[in-house]
C-alpha cells in the first residue's frame, strides 16, 4: 500500500511540467487535457482537517484524458531515474483501460521522463503492450532504454516543458501506413 508520504508523489514535478504544457496547448487551441485526480483514502487528519496520511486507491486508470484536435487521448506520466524501466510501475487495469481506449479509436500512451539522462520518451500503447506481453509470458519484467524506438525521444522546447504533440504526430503518421 502506497502512502502519500512515500513513493506516491514521485514524478510530481514531471506532472507539473506536463500540466504547464497542457495549459499552453489549451491557450493556443491545440488540446484540452484534464489531469485525473488520484483517488485517495485518508487515514490521519490534523486538527484543521488537513489530510496528513492517506493511501492511494489501486483502481485509478491513467493520469490524463482529453482531446487533441478531435482525437481522444489518454496517457500516464512516469519518471525513471535509470536506463531500465520496471513494468511494476504500470498496473494490469491501466493496460486494460488503455487497450479499451485504443479499441474506441482513441490514442493511449505513456510519457516517461528518464531523469538521469534528462530526456523524455513517448511510449506508444502498442510498444507498451509488446513489453507487457513479454513479461506476462515469463520474460523480462522491465525494458531497457536501448530497446526503445529512437524517433520517440524528445526534449523540452522554449515555452513547452514536455512537448508531446510532436510525438503524437509521429505516432499517428506511423499508424496510417
How confident is the model over 63-86, as a mean pLDDT?
95
Burial 4-18 (b: 16+ CB within 10 A, else e): beeebebbeebbebb
pLDDT at 59: 66
The reply to whether 2 falls in a domain is: no
Residue 76 annotated as binding site:
yes
pTM of the shown model: 0.84
The reply to whether 49 falls in a domain is: yes
The reply to whether 35 falls in a domain is: yes
Residue 46 annotated as binding site:
no
The reply to whether 72 falls in a domain is: yes
The reply to whether 94 falls in a domain is: yes
What tens digit of pLDDT does each residue of 10-54 get?
A: 447 899 999 999 999 999 999 999 998 776 777 777 888 777 776
Q: What's the domain range around 151? A: 7-176
- Which residues are within 8 A (CB) of 15 and not within 5 positions of it... i.e. 6 or more apart? 35, 63, 77
Look at residue 63 and tell me whether its pLDDT is greater than 50.
Answer: yes
Least confidently predicted of 56-70, 112-126, 160-174: 56-70
The reply to whether 54 falls in a domain is: yes
Nearest-angstrom CA–CA distance, 50 and 87: 33
The DSSP bridge pattern shows strands 107-114 and 84-86 to be: unpaired
- Name the domain count of the chain: 1
Please check whether residue 24 is in contact with residue 166, taking contact to mean a CB–CB distance below 8 angstroms. Answer: no
Please check whether residue 103 is in contact with residue 97, taking contact to mean a CB–CB distance below 8 angstroms. Answer: no
Look at residue 130 and tell me whether its pLDDT is greater than 60.
Answer: yes
CATH of the domain at 139: 3.40.1350.10
Residue 63 annotated as binding site:
yes
How confident is the model over 73-81, as a mean pLDDT?
95
How confident is the model over 104-114, as a mean pLDDT?
96
pLDDT at 157: 86
pLDDT at 126: 96
Residue 118 annotated as binding site:
no
The reply to whether 127 falls in a domain is: yes
pLDDT at 58: 59
The reply to whether 1 falls in a domain is: no
Amino acid at each position: 500500500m502506497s502512502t502519500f508520504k512515500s513513493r506516491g508523489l514521485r514524478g510530481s514535478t514531471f506532472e507539473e511540467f506536463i500540466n504547464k504544457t497542457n495549459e499552453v496547448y489549451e491557450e493556443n487551441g491545440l488540446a484540452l487535457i484534464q489531469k485525473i485526480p488520484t483517488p485517495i483514502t485518508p487515514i490521519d487528519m490534523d486538527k484543521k482537517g488537513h489530510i496528513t496520511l492517506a493511501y492511494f486507491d489501486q483502481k485509478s486508470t491513467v493520469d490524463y484524458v482529453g482531446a487533441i484536435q478531435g482525437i481522444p487521448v489518454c496517457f500516464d506520466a512516469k519518471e525513471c531515474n535509470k536506463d531500465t524501466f520496471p513494468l511494476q510501475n504500470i498496473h494490469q487495469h491501466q493496460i486494460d483501460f488503455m487497450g479499451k481506449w485504443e479499441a474506441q479509436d482513441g490514442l493511449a500512451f505513456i510519457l516517461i521522463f528518464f531523469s538521469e539522462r534528462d530526456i523524455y520518451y513517448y511510449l506508444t500503447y502498442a510498444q507498451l503492450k509488446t513489453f507487457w506481453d513479454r513479461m506476462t509470458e515469463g520474460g523480462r519484467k522491465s525494458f531497457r532504454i536501448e530497446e526503445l524506438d529512437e524517433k520517440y525521444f524528445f526534449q523540452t522546447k522554449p515555452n513547452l516543458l514536455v512537448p508531446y504533440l510532436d510525438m503524437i504526430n509521429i505516432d499517428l503518421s506511423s499508424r496510417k501506413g
